[in-house]
Chains A and B, each alone.
Chain A
Amino acid sequence: MAEEVDRKGAAVWLARSTAFDEVLRVLVDEPTEGFSAWARTTAGIVAMLLALQFVTGALLSFYYLPSTEGAHTTVAYIEKVASAGYWFRSLHHYGSQLLTLFLVLHLAQKFWRRAYARKPVAWIATVLLLAFVMASGATGYSLPWDASAFFSTRIGEGMASGLPLLGETARRWLLGGTEISPLTLVRLFALHVLVVPFIILLVVIARLFIFREISGEEMRRAWVRNQFVRNATSASVVFFALALFATRIHAPLGPPATELLPGYLPRPGAQFLWLFQLLKYLPGRLALAAAAILLLIIFMTLIALPFLSLASLREITGRPRRLIGRAVFATMLALFFTQTNRLFSMNRSSR
């Protein structure tokens, strides 16, 4: 009750007239301190980056035209002529890669705290967000209709056709025909700016307003307040780092898809580099099929995780083997990120 007295003005109004308190209760897991509390600010970073994608995406759409004649011209206009256009494009381009990175880190810290068992809906929502953010990246990559876009569409096409049973159907539905054509670009545009963002919003709304997950412990207001400050701090550090980065580093824009030169080396965004690398090791047509199925398996497993109640998983993250588990987990993450980083820097220098 002392807490009620403690609150005033805007806070009281918010509590009385909005579902804000309910939302907070749904959002907040058991309080932690120290490094763990800071690790959990990936939530704030993800929220900031997601908002940034929506804002920069909307801004880009003020100039962009989804047609094979207009796409490359308008993107080049944004890049070279419109004031700060290159900055917004770079924010959108690298922001989407950072968003994928921080969603993975967010899942990693949830996994580590075994939050997937306590708050399964939050876990599933995060996995779905990761899946749809990656779908957003895949569809967005085609929009400038430059040479890389053409090849990324090729890869997407190949992966769709690699799906079991309905591969060819999926491929044609994605392309809007039997070949990559102007219809494909409009299709990818509609998916990227209308369908996928709408689904992402639905997932976020479901997470915030529909599913209730009350943790065993009563929420502590002081912790929430401190965590809010931590989240804002982390988010702003990432934001300003990205903002500075984007003033220096332009998002890549290749030659128009129609002026393709032989030997052009297309590169995917950082969030797909592992897939790009994987395709080098898998043989022939099988590669894209395997990649599609692998993606499916990864996401299905992540979604199913809360319901599996695996004893062995608990042991990995639980005492007394915590140290080994921690080491293996950290090594895997580190390996993934350093390898991605290595490929990413290689690509940048070869451009």
Chain B
Amino acid sequence: MAEASTQHDDNNETKSRRDFLLLIPLALFASMAATIAAAAFRYLRPTRIFGEAVWTDIGPLSQFTGARPIMRSLETERAAGWANMVEEHFVFVLPDKNYQVLSAACPHEGCNVIWRDEDRNFFCPCHDSSFAADGSRLSGPARRGLDPLPSQTENGTLKVKYQSFVNNTSERVVRG
């Protein structure tokens, strides 16, 4: 300030003082807003959805016979914040492919595919992707075949570990 007064006249000095004074409320508002914003960022930050893939029974091996894929449904349970999510998923068991289990979720956008006996292929009703009886891609917008799921047989019961995969990629990436 002392330096300024030697260079400027009184009028200019009071003016710059007033301009400086106006910075105070602006700085105060900014600090209040920043305090709230910093906490709000932490508060609204997306939560992790908890729930590990677990082995789920999908039925005794003796049920899975014949030459066509057999559809089964299973439930998974996950925790999202305060909520418990129970979700139903569909899988296809291929009896003639050593009981391989395929996820019914279309790798394009995730609709559930259906098995068409007359054409002997899987067909997605959403965007017309089709897949061969072993799950490999035949036609349509899907960029990979149907996703195989880890499965095992224990005491004559077929078990599967349900996973979901990222949509619309050519390589398989487990979601989450």
Chain B proximity of A253: nearest CB distance (Å): 14
**Contact count band on B:** 20 to 34
Residue B29, interface by CB 8 Å: yes
**CB-defined contacts of A235 to chain B, threshold 8 Å:** 28, 32
Instruction: Let me know if A347 is at the binding interface, CB within 8 A.
Output: no
Q: Does B8 contact A (CB under 8 A)?
A: no
Which residues of the partner chain A approach B18 to less than 8 Å between Cβ atoms?
222, 225
Q: Residues 226-240 of chain A: 1 if any B CB is under 8 Å from the residue's CB, otherwise 0?
A: 101101110110011
Nearest B residue (CB) for A239: B32
Nearest neighbor of B37 in chain A, beta-carbon distance: A55
> What is the 8 Å Cβ interface bit string for chain B, positions 24-55, against chain A (1 contact, 0 not)?
11101101100110011011110000000000
List A residues 263-296 near B (Cβ within 8 Å). none
Query: Are the C-beta atoms of A236 and B82 separated by less than 8 Å?
Result: no
Tell me, rounded to whole Å, the shortest Cβ–Cβ distance linking A40 to chain B: 15
Given A84-B43, A225-B18, A239-B32: A232 touches B82 (CB 8 Å cut-off): no
Chain B 94-131 per-residue mask, 1 if CB under 8 angstroms from chain A, else 0: 00000000000000000000000000000000000000
Asked whether A328 is an interface residue with its Cβ less than 8 Å from the other chain, the reply is no
The answer to whether B40 touches A59 (Cβ under 8 A) is yes
Partner of B82, one of A48, A59, A73: A73
Which residues on the A side are within 8 Å of B15 (C-beta)? 6
What's the nearest-Cβ distance from chain B to residue A226, in Å?
Answer: 8
Chain A residues whose C-beta falls within 8 Å of the C-beta of B26 in the assembled complex: 232
**Which of B22, B32, B81 contacts A63, CB < 8 Å?**
B81
Q: Which B residues are CB-close (under 8 A) to A63?
A: 81-82
Among the stretches A75-83, A123-131, A140-148, A152-160, the one at the interface with B is A75-83
Determine which of B25, B35, B43 lies in contact with A233 in the assembled complex, contact meaning CB atoms within 8 Å.
Answer: B25
With A231-B25, A233-B25 as given contacts, are A83 and B81 in contact (CB-CB < 8 Å)?
A: no
Asked whether B21 is an interface residue with its Cβ less than 8 Å from the other chain, the reply is: yes
Q: CA of A272 to CA of B31 in the docked complex: distance in angstroms?
A: 32
Q: How far is the CA of A233 from the CA of B29 in the complex (A)?
A: 9
User: Is A81's CB under 8 angstroms from B81's CB?
Assistant: yes
Q: In whole angstroms, what is the CA distance A286 to B119 when docked? A: 80
Q: Which of B22, B31, B39 contacts A229 (CB 8 A)?
A: B22
Kindly report which residue of chain B lies nearest to residue A222, judged by CB atoms: B18
0/1 string, A48-69, CB within 8 A of B gives 1: 1000100100010011000000
Give CA–CA (A66, B1) in the complex, Å: 58
B44 touches A232 (CB 8 A): no
Residues of B within 8 A of A77 (CB): 81-82
- The answer to whether A83 and B42 touch (CB under 8 A), given A225-B22, A243-B35, is yes
CB distance from B41 to the nearest CB of A (A): 9
Q: Is A96 an interface residue (CB 8 A)?
A: no
Task: Please give the residue numbers on chain B whose beta carbons come within 8 Å of chain A beta carbons, in ascending order.
Answer: 15, 18, 21-22, 24-26, 28-29, 31-32, 35-36, 39-40, 42-45, 81-82
- Please list the 4 inter-chain residue pairs (A to B) with the smallest Cβ-Cβ separation, ordered nearest first: A232-B25, A77-B82, A83-B42, A236-B28
Q: List 5 A-B contacts (CB under 8 A).
A: A82-B43, A83-B39, A84-B42, A228-B22, A229-B25
Which residues of A approach B to under 8 Å, CB–CB? 6, 48, 52, 55, 59, 62-63, 73-74, 76-77, 81-85, 87-88, 222, 225-226, 228-229, 231-233, 235-236, 239-240, 243
